[in-house]
Structure 1
């Protein structure tokens, strides 16, 4: 088995794993994170409903959960096809990885830079009390209700999307990989 193919499949499988671990964790612990963020908003003198009005939430919605598991299944399938030497897996990886880079990269950036995103959302609010909220404290309160390993996994996923997706494309284009798919 060529090393470039093994590395590409490993990157795909690692990214797929993050699309299972994080949504399951947020599904279970998201309500506590939401309550913590709402309590912080209340402590700062704004109504907790301001989070919803600003589009800020820490609870995993059903469609988000299903989408994340679908992405995980797709990436795992592509990894399996690549390891098996399927030309279709290689071709589909070349199509899917740029889409992952763009679409998932945007979503992951919002998670990596959550305080900045939240600060901007508060700044657009009509209510002065909401504009005055300390976004870092709100995000910190929510993060405190999640397991301590969540942030490193979010950063890992961001790295796998931003750096790993282009690397998968390159690895699968190498001559050594090409012989595997011949």
Structure 2
């Protein structure tokens, strides 16, 4: 019988993996529309929409980011299945991989959740007067409207699962009570 701690850790890994599959697919599919909406809002503010591209502000998912996200998702699924099967290798690799995901969650993913704040800070620091003059909140909101309403929740869930969830997975798999399962 699979210990509850292992089952819980594996479920967290599978939920996190799901976010790494959903977010890039939706971003790739609807990103161009979101980018056009943001550029239209910037143009409505009297600034050429090209200012976003010039400063590498993109609301879509590049092919490279899709491949990376899908690869992370596949690794998480594989680790969850290894843990469910009682593989000691899966347990050790989970500790390592979840630590890496935790760091990514702390460093990269907050920018996806707090996009407006990050872009406002970047605009304030920019040497480009056209970027400093933008109503960042308005163009971010225009881009967000191009995505389904549930999408922001999935992005927030990924941040929580990548940070707190990763720590929980590591802790659950480190419990002495599950050691016998991995023997």
Partner of 1:58: 59
1:76 correspondence with 2:77: yes
Q: Are residues 121 and 53 of structure 1, via their aligned partners in 2, closer, same or farther at CA, if it must alter by over 3 Å? A: farther
Between the aligned partners of 1:76 and 1:106, the Cα distance in structure 2 is: 23
Deviation, structure 1 residue 126: 2.5
Deviation, structure 1 residue 136: 1.1
Structure 2, unpaired ranges of 5+: none
Between the aligned partners of 2:122 and 2:51, the Cα distance in structure 1 is: 10
Q: Deviations over 1:146-168 (max 9, x none)?
A: 01110011111111011000000
Aligned residues: 182
Using structure 1 for the length normalisation, give the TM-score. 0.97
Deviation, structure 1 residue 121: 2.1
**Superposed CA RMSD:** 1.0
Report which stretch shifted further, 143-152 or 104-113: 104-113
Partner of 1:43: 44
Where does structure 1 differ by over 3 angstroms across 4 or more consecutive aligned residues?
A: none
Deviation, structure 1 residue 120: 1.7
Partner of 2:92: 91
Structure 1, unpaired ranges of 5+: none
Deviation, structure 1 residue 180: 0.9
SS of alignment partner, residue 56 of structure 1: coil
Report which stretch shifted further, 78-87 or 96-105: 96-105
Using structure 2 for the length normalisation, give the TM-score. 0.96
